Each structure stands twice: as structure tokens, then as C-alpha cells.
Structure 1
Amino acid sequence: MAVTQRTRRPAATAESPAEPAPARLDVTVVLPCYNEQDHVLAEVERISAAMAETGYRWELLALDDASTDDTLAVLRAAQLRFPQLRLLPLPRNGGAGTARRLGTQQARGEIVVWTDADLTYPNQRIPELVAQLRADPTIDQVVGARTSEQGSHKLLRVPAKWAIRKLAERLAGERIPDLNSGLRAFRREVSLPYLRLLPPGFSCVTTITMAFLHNQHQVRYLPIEYAKRAGRSKFRFVTDAYRYILQVLRMVMYFNPLRVLMPPALALLGIGGGKLIYDVVANPVRIATNTILLILTGLIIASMALLADLIVRSRTD
């Protein structure tokens, strides 16, 4: 009789050693990379040199966003030289926001630093941002506020960014020297509830700024220089400017809808009330149709504002 043998996997026992949990670190520098083969190594060297002098326990988490050039190969070769470099290749291109979100979720450091790999930001100053967070526990985020603009479409970009920043300041009720700087450090635990709000594109930095400000987290700004970008810019003026404005409004609506909806509601009610008085004086027996429409529209928007605010206040997240 033939005997059939079955290979059995050894059962897990209480004595089996458990896989050790990754050690917690002080700082994780998240570096999204997309087609940066010519200068990503220089950025890795600059960040590593700056962090090596601090005495912090740190890691550099580079996320290759499905680059179509040799960026991933350059990063893999760099791992042989830099033991603190951890590489996370993404299977498909998801955008800078997706890379930063995944990097923050995978970070082992208590403080997370966001920056870019295009040589624009003074990454040698990353320890300064981290030092401010470690020195003052009341601060939850430190933003590198750029003192100049070196991006593409400068003639259009500067006034557009100024207008969007002023809108954000008005809605947030705070001064914001730089709304969408890509260089910032923040406490990872504080940021976790807001990561699901991050959009996939460049406006993720705007989102994290607005999320912290609207939830009364202390944000400090550190003036920095901003250099001309190495390589080709991925910024698209019309599309990304539109997304910036939309994201500012979306974040304010998410946390404080009264700031967006109540001003136009009160304006319409005020204009409608004034028009009503004029109609009664000029035509005592007739109220104009546009007067009624102004008042009704104001009441509808005001009702929507109060309902949205009620929903926000009743959320448990």
C-alpha cells in the first residue's frame, strides 16, 4: 500500500521568537522622488551630512514615485553608502501628496520632515526645524517660509500665490508667511488624523498647514532661502493654482464652514433688507421679485452654514 506523506508546517509555539518591532527614532526625513536621477544623490548626501552631525536617531525615507528614469537605481546604489537611507518604491505614480502621506505613515521617527529632492530647499537647515520642535513642546509644526520665489511662470505665480495666501489667512484668521512650502517638520502623532485629508498633488502641503491651524496646533515659521529648481518642473500653473484655491476652501469648509458660507449669506441678507426698505418706500404695495430672491438666497445659504457647522461640531474624528 502506498503511503502518502504530507509535509506539515511547524505549528507556532509560545517559545517561537516574535519578529522585533522597528525601533522608534527621533526624526524621519520623507523625500519624495520622481525623475530626479541627476540630483537626488546630491540631495541624499546633503541631508545625510546635516543629520549626521546632530546626534539624533534618524532615517531618510526616500519614496520613488514610479520614476521613468534611473532615480530608483541611483537610490538603491546610495543605500550601500548611507545606512540610514530607507527606500520605498511605489508601484505606480500617485503624486507628491500620496508619497508624503505614505512616507509619514511608514515613518519611524517621532518628528517627520517633508522636503523635496530638486535642490530648491536648504536641506542642510533641517536640523534647525527639528531643534525648534524638540525645544518647545507647544509647537507642533515648523515651516520653512521662503523669502523669494524661483519657480516657473514667475510673473503669474507670484500674484496668484499671494492672493491664495491672503484668502487662506482671511479664512484661517491667522497670518501665514508661506502657505505651500515643501520644507516643514511636524510631530507625527499630531499629523496622523489629518493624513487621510491629503490630496495626491502639490496642494498636500497647503492641506497640512490648514489642518494644523484650524485645530489650534501651534505653527512656527522659519525664514529660508529658496533656490532655482534642478531639472524640469512638474508644476502646472492653471491646474495646480485651481487645486490650491479649491483645497483651501475645502479645508476651511471641513473644519469651519461658517467662515466660508456665513459672510455671503449675511451680505445677501443685508442687500435684500436694504432693497426691501427701498421697495416699501418707493412702491408701498409691491415688493420686487429680485428683493425676495436676495432674501431667500441669503436665508438658504445661512441655513446651510449653520447645518454644516452642526455636522462639523458633532463629528467624533
Structure 2
Amino acid sequence: MANPATVIIPCYNEVNGIRAVVEEIRAVLAHNAIEGEILVVDDGSSDGSAEAAATTGARVLRHRSNRGYGAALKTGIVAAKHSFIVIIDADGTYPAVYIPELLRMLERADMAVGARTGANVNIPLVRRPAKWVLNRLANYLSTSKIPDLNSGLRAFRREIAAQYFGILPNQFSFTTTITLAMHCDKYSVVYLPIDYLPRKGKSKIVPWDAASFLVLILRTAMLFRPLRVFLPIVLLCLVYGIVKMSIDLTHQPNISASALLAFVSALQILLIGMVGDAIATRLGRMSQAAPSSVTVEELGGPEK
């Protein structure tokens, strides 16, 4: 039997799907004899999502205003009764049937992620190019193979996630950041191929969020692997300097100012990267970061 777990469902204006998601999770937990609680964190919904969730018997926490997907997850992690945490979206895209296997995988891993690489994956075509680019960049910066960077279905231990609260954002990039951070810190992260179903309702993600994810990946890399960012720039400056110097010496005995500037820039950027790497190594995993405070109200009571 799997360890007791808290299943956290961040919810923002998902009145059309939240009841079905809670009922599916409850059925899966009961069928697999898993002791646990279902915790819905309503992130300031205006469509009655919190009230709909409360009618299912789930425990419901409510933000008084919309604070973001990541903020809702942090609230749930802090309030969870169990140390094993599962997160899943409220839009019905992630089948709850994979939850028992993810929990079993935690017996040999620190985080188990449902990778959307199964036979039935309904990711909109417009998102796939950006998703592919971001995954390739994340693989390079973390020196790991990451099949799904920002899956919203995953299981992990609360104490591991809590140590990253200082850098985990309040928006959708919560999952991206914790994936990169745990890979960079050499935690054991395993992936389970899963299906990804069409969502109920309208997606909250817009195309230009890809740029935000890109900046976030680079920023996270700067915290853990700064040399993976700086070294390519150093090499680019060196290549330019060598090529420019070779051209200069074929026409005159002097080296141009642009070639010298490229060499000096390469040295300066390398030194900055080394300092950043030393700081990142010394600070370690930011384990002293304290969880942020939350302001919530609870609807109803714990599930029976």
C-alpha cells in the first residue's frame, strides 16, 4: 500500500471541471486503499469553483484574491496533513489513475513526474515548438534528460519542496522551477509516461508565456549552474576574437580594437561566471529559505 498522501488541486475558475476531478481522485484513492486527503486551493475564483469543490467533501482553502498557480500550490503544501504530496490540475487534463504509481515511485525517488509522452496526448500544436525549445534548453542547463519540464501531475516529499520556497514563483512557472532545481541539485527525479486529455474550460496560459518561461529557465540556471550560461558566451567571444585577429594579421601587422575587446570580454565574462559558480556552490540548495506566509480561509471541513 502506498504512503498516505495529500492531493493538492490548485483551482482558478474551474467550476466546470472541479467536481469531476475530485470525484475521480477519491475513487482512485479508495480503489487502491490509499489513505489521504484531497485539498483544493481556490485561488480567488469568481465562478463558484470553491463552493462546487466544497460540495464534494474535499477540504477547501481559499485565497481572497487571485495570487497565481504557484502561490496556490505553496498554500496547499504548507497546509497539507501528509508529507507525501501529489499535485494535479483542476481542468481534467491529467488522469488521476496515475497517482498510485507516482506514489509508489517515491519509494526510490525524490520526485515522480507524469510526463506527457503517452499514447493519448492533447497538447495544442501552437504550443509544441516553444515547448520543444524550452525542453532542449532545460536539458542543456541541467545536464539531464527531462521529458516533460512543466507537467502539472507529480508527487514529491514536502520537505524537499519547502526548501525551495524562496525561489519558487507564484505563477505557472512553479513546476518548471522545481524540476530544474531538483535536477541541478542531483535529486532523484523519475518520469512516468502519461496521457494528457483535452481540458474542460478555457486555458489560462497565453502564447507569450513562453518568453517568461525562457527567462525563468535562465534565471534558475544562474542560481544553480551559472557556468552553463556563461561558458557559451565566453566561447563565442573567443571565436570572434580569433577569427578577427586572423583577418587583421593577413592585412596588417596590428590587431584591431574589436579583436582585443572580444578577448578582454571573454576573460571578464569567464571570471564573472566563476564567481557566480562559487557563490552558487557555497549557498547550496537555499535550504534556509523560509516558506512565505499565506492568507486563506477554509470552506467546509475535511473529507469524510
Q: Is the 8 A contact 1:269 1:299 kept in 2?
A: no
Name the residue aligned to 1:39. 17
Are positions 1:29 and 2:19 aligned together? no
Deviations 1:48-95 (A, max 9, x none): 11112233331111101010111111122222xxxxx22111111011
* Match of residue 290, structure 1, among 249, 258, 269: 258
Are positions 1:267 and 2:236 aligned together? yes
Name the residue aligned to 2:97. 124
Q: TM-score, normalised by structure 2?
A: 0.88
Shift of 1:113: 0.7
Deviations 1:133-176 (A, max 9, x none): 13x2xx1111101126524xx33311110011011111111111
Are positions 1:309 and 2:277 aligned together? yes
User: Can you give the 5+ residue segments of structure 1 that lack an aligned partner in the other structure?
Assistant: 1-24, 80-84
Q: Is the 8 A contact 2:5 2:84 kept in 1?
A: yes
The structure that has the greater radius of gyration is 1
Are positions 1:101 and 2:74 aligned together? yes
Are positions 1:247 and 2:216 aligned together? yes
* Match of residue 167, structure 2, among 187, 192, 197: 197
Give, in whole Å, the separation in 2 of the partners of 1:53 and 1:67: 31
Name the residue aligned to 1:3. none
Name the residue aligned to 1:76. 54
Q: Is the 8 A contact 1:266 1:302 kept in 2?
A: no
* Match of residue 175, structure 1, among 141, 145, 151: 145
Q: 1:113 is paired with a residue of what secondary structure?
A: strand
Equivalence map 1:143-162=2 (5 Å): 143-147=113-117, 149-151=121-123, 154-162=124-132
- The root-mean-square deviation of aligned C-alpha atoms, in Å, is 1.5
Name the residue aligned to 1:212. 182
Name the residue aligned to 1:226. 196
Q: Is the 8 A contact 1:41 1:75 kept in 2?
A: yes
Q: 1:47 is paired with a residue of what secondary structure?
A: helix
Percent of aligned pairs with the same residue? 40
* Match of residue 59, structure 2, among 72, 86, 90: 86
Shift of 1:281: 4.1
Name the residue aligned to 1:256. 225
**Higher relative contact order (Cα pairs below 8 Å, separated by 6+ residues):** 2
Q: Is the 8 A contact 2:142 2:221 kept in 1?
A: yes
Which one-letter code corresponds to 2:43 in the other structure? D
Q: Is the 8 A contact 1:30 1:103 kept in 2?
A: yes
Shift of 1:112: 0.7
Q: Is the 8 A contact 2:121 2:195 kept in 1?
A: no
Give, in whole Å, the separation in 2 of the partners of 1:157 and 1:58: 34
Q: 2:5 is paired with a residue of what secondary structure?
A: strand
Are positions 1:67 and 2:45 aligned together? yes
Give, in whole Å, the separation in 2 of the partners of 1:104 and 1:73: 21
Deviations 1:117-136 (A, max 9, x none): 101001122111001113x2
Deviations 1:257-313 (A, max 9, x none): 0000112112212321342244234311x2212112211221221121011112112
Q: TM-score, normalised by structure 1?
A: 0.85
